[in-house]
Amino acid sequence: MNGLSASAIDTNAWFATCPKGVESLLAQELVSLGAETSRETVAGVYFSGSRALAYRACLWSRLANRVLWPLGQLEAADGDTLYRSIKGVDWGSLFDPERSITIDFSGENKHIRNTQFGAQRTKDAIVDWFVARAARRPSVDRAHPDVRLNVRLVRDRAHLSVDFSGGSLHQRGYRLEAGAAPLKENLAAAVLLRADWPGVAARGGALIDPLCGSATLLLEGALMAADIAPGLGRKRFGFEQLRIHDAGQWQAILADARGRAERGRAAQLPEIRGYDWDPAVIRRAQENIARIGLEKVVRVSCKPVSGLKKPDHRPLPFGLLVCNPPYGERIGEKQRLKDLYRQLGEVMNREFKGWQAAVLTSDLDLGKATGLRSHKRYALYNGRIAASLLLFDLADNELRTGDIAPAPAAPVLSEGALMFANRIRKNRKRLAAWVKREQVECYRLYDADMPEYSVAVDIYGQHVHVAEYQAPKSISAQASGQRLDDVRTALPVALGVAADNIVYKQRSRQRGSEQYGRQDNRGELLTVREGAAKLLVNLHDYLDTGLFLDHRPLRLRIAQEARGKDFLNLFCYTGAATVHAALGGAHSTTSVDLSNTYLHWLEENLAANGLQEGRHTIIREDCQSWLARTRNRYDLVLLDPPSFSNSKAMADSFDVQRDHAELVRKAMAVLRRKGHLYFSNNRRGFTLDKSLHDEFQCQDITGQTLPTDFQRNRKIHCCWIIRHK
């Protein structure tokens, strides 16, 4: 493949990815857009046609995730072979070196064992190609790249493609935030197409969603009825940055779509309504509707399923009732959800005789709980969750009775569990005004307030993280186990949180890298908000979650002080303070840590906030070694070392009490004269070396950095602000 250029690549061969179960629908859609041939495979469709067809697919496909332009297959037995193969491509014929890039790499083989390594070697080869020929290099931007490249490794071959769409097409631009279990826009479109919503709308039928959430099903239905291209709301596409792009042809296709949308909005559109019991969810739905400018078409209001009635302001003899109810993962939750599904079935039977209905569920038992008979079932995937789309004809469908088990009664709490539940409720009430006023999403609710229940309970949005402290030797294993059982029983009742949204871990005395050891291997990241930042936490896989809650005030303080400054984050962990500094307007940030895992986590945090890599340097190295050799200088430094470390990557062990004076001096050596350094650690009984007071201005600000939720445990950390004299 040496010298492969755009002119040598087949520009009539394309590949569209999609959710599993949607392949046949996507193939039909692509043919309707003008594809000459189509061939289905798992989670995608190969198709052929002109570049204009690819433009139309990016703009008009309601089902595709991405449209890829396959470049070819490369030898990739190991990292060096992959590098040579990628470097053999004529990248200058595809895009300019001024374009930013990112690599989506998937697959492993015997020598390329992780996707990060594969992506890094691919990026290096592309950058080196440009440097050798143009003395310029493309930058890397994981959040908003100009050019997104896709590499899929299958055994010893790498399938190389350009992401022609430039990001997932399910992102229409109208939904900035979704609920706890969002339904992607293209899967919502697949549900509506399977239920023949276009046919119902053409006959004047209505569309109603009794559990509308963020209104995704309703808005996708409105786009179909109004003949609005789903890609019209996107700000950019990947092909616009490629050399083969024909701007005139694209503008003609775009103008045609805008004309169709204008005519569709002016036409008489069907009744489209949604309901949800949660006022906050309805507000989010209204924001999405307004963002796409369909307020006159799509209407939502707050109403529980049990109180739903068919709108009577005008005759609605038929239509489609569609919804994506909550899924139940655990037995207790499933039993409670059966009541909701039963209410749904009763409403469908009572209010919507003669209509069609479509219900997407991950559990067929819940579908049966409606009491109605479905006449057709389709297998779909909502992300990784296998789901079933059940279609109902409500014209002649009788409600079954007597086969629905009642929801289980609330558990009876033991005396100890009741005492613990009451303390949780008391703490939550005490913190409620502060949480609301400061808009705090993650906070400590309980920290061994009662010695017999020695756990820390932290709230992360709708999830709860419980860390059980190691019990004293005087407490038997049986008694300790009983108390944890009390906690497990009490928390769902006291907080009104589903049991599967609560994570339990045991915290014991740990040294060195033990604190970073894996507890699980789920890889599930949850996005939470802190001030202006979106931060990713992992509640399952590690002892710590990736966000130290007691340092919240210090991070927010850094955000306020960072504008125009060069910020250095030493022992940066997952980089939450770096994100805050960057969002606060820092001129640059530099983050140093030894852990590949946490530096990759930092990269994900930066990407989640739309922060480009160019101004934010990430360095994997021992902080003391790096400080000894760097010549850079900084205005604002955060130094938050561990209490103890004996990492294999370090020459010697580190003890913060023994070694902090030398470390602080090294950090102060890179601090500009008018800058300041925040030095923090969580060593109990820590005292600052007296010699540092003689050399620098050292002010203890621990009290200023302790948040409201940690006032009970004021020894959680200590903090100084240090300046040059």
Whole-number pLDDT of residue 595: 92
Range in 34-48, 201-215, 646-660 the model is least confident about: 646-660
What is the CATH architecture of 185-226+269-393? Answer: 3-Layer(aba) Sandwich (3.40)
Q: 157 falls in which pLDDT band (50, 70, 90)?
A: very high
Q: Does domain 6-163 have CATH number 3.40.50.150?
A: no
| Between 481 and 700, the higher pLDDT residue | 700
Q: What is the mean pLDDT of residues 40-64?
A: 96
Superfamily of domain 529-724: Vaccinia Virus protein VP39 (3.40.50.150)
Identity (one letter) of the amino acid at 8?
A
Task: Give strand pairing partners of 26.
Answer: none
pLDDT above 60: residue 83: yes
CB 94 within 8 A of CB 9: no
pLDDT digits (tens, 9 = 90+) for 519-562: 556 677 888 999 999 999 999 888 899 999 999 999 999 999 99
State residue 554 phi and psi, 5-degree precision. Answer: -70, -40
pLDDT above 70: residue 263: yes
Q: What is the mean pLDDT of residues 258-273?
A: 95
Pairing of strands 696-700, 298-302: unpaired
State residue 103 phi and psi, 5-degree precision. Answer: -120, 125
* Alpha-carbon dihedral sign for residues 626, 628, 629, 635: positive
d(CA 372, CA 348): 9
At residue 572, the 3 state secondary structure works out as coil
H-type alpha helices, 329-460? 331-351, 364-368, 415-438
Please state, rounded to an integer, the average pLDDT across all residues of the chain: 89
Whole-number pLDDT of residue 404: 47
Within 13 Å and on the Cβ side, how many CA atoms surround 378? 22
d(CA 446, CA 423): 8
Q: Which of 517, 451, 464 is nearest to 492 (CA)?
A: 464
d(CA 70, CA 79): 21
| Between 281 and 191, the higher pLDDT residue | 191
State residue 548 phi and psi, 5-degree precision. Answer: -80, 110
pLDDT above 90: residue 430: yes
* Alpha-carbon dihedral sign for residues 266, 57, 188, 611: negative
Secondary structure percentages of the chain, helix, strand, coil, to 5: 40, 25, 40
Whole-number pLDDT of residue 516: 41
d(CA 518, CA 541): 5
| Other beta carbons less than 10 A from residue 62's beta carbon | 23
Q: How many residues does the chain have?
A: 725
- Of all residues in the chain, the percent with pLDDT exceeding 90 is 72
Interhelix angle 23-32/185-194, rounded to 10 degrees, is 90
Q: 484 falls in which pLDDT band (50, 70, 90)?
A: confident
Whole-number pLDDT of residue 474: 65
pTM over 0.75: no
Identity (one letter) of the amino acid at 182?
P
H-type alpha helices, 76-136? 79-87, 115-134
| Between 177 and 571, the higher pLDDT residue | 571
pLDDT digits (tens, 9 = 90+) for 658-696: 999 999 999 999 999 999 999 999 999 999 999 999 999
Whole-number pLDDT of residue 332: 43
Q: What is the DSSP letter of 60?
A: H
CATH (residue range 415-509): 3.30.750.80
Q: What is the mean pLDDT of residues 575-582?
A: 97
Q: 279 falls in which pLDDT band (50, 70, 90)?
A: confident
Whole-number pLDDT of residue 2: 46
- Of all residues in the chain, the percent with pLDDT exceeding 70 is 91
Q: Which residues contact 518 (CB under 8 A, 6 or more apart)?
A: 541, 542
Whole-number pLDDT of residue 410: 58
Give me the residue spans of the domains in the chain: 6-163, 185-226+269-393, 415-509, 529-724
Q: Which residues contact 346 (CB under 8 A, 6 or more apart)?
A: 306, 371, 399
pLDDT above 80: residue 112: yes
Whole-number pLDDT of residue 100: 96
Cα dist from 716 to 452, 546, 707, whole Å? 20, 17, 11
Q: In what order do the strands lie in the sheet with 385-393?
A: 298-302, 272-276, 206-209, 319-323, 356-361, 385-393, 376-382
Q: 71 falls in which pLDDT band (50, 70, 90)?
A: very high
pLDDT digits (tens, 9 = 90+) for 592-634: 999 999 999 999 899 888 886 678 999 999 999 999 999 999 9
d(CA 364, CA 220): 25
Whole-number pLDDT of residue 298: 97
Interhelix angle 477-495/415-438, rounded to 10 degrees, is 50
d(CA 234, CA 291): 12
Identity (one letter) of the amino acid at 35?
A
d(CA 708, CA 303): 36
Secondary structure (H, E, C), 626-692: HHHHCCCCEEEEEECCCCEECCCCCCCCEEHHHHHHHHHHHHHHCEEEEEEEEEEECCCCCCCCHHH
pLDDT digits (tens, 9 = 90+) for 431-483: 999 998 888 999 999 998 988 888 999 999 889 999 988 766 666 667 777 88
Interhelix angle 596-608/576-583, rounded to 10 degrees, is 30
pLDDT above 80: residue 276: yes
d(CA 722, CA 439): 30
Task: Give strand pairing partners of 359.
Answer: 323, 390
Range in 48-57, 94-103, 609-618 the model is least confident about: 609-618
CB 37 within 8 A of CB 48: yes
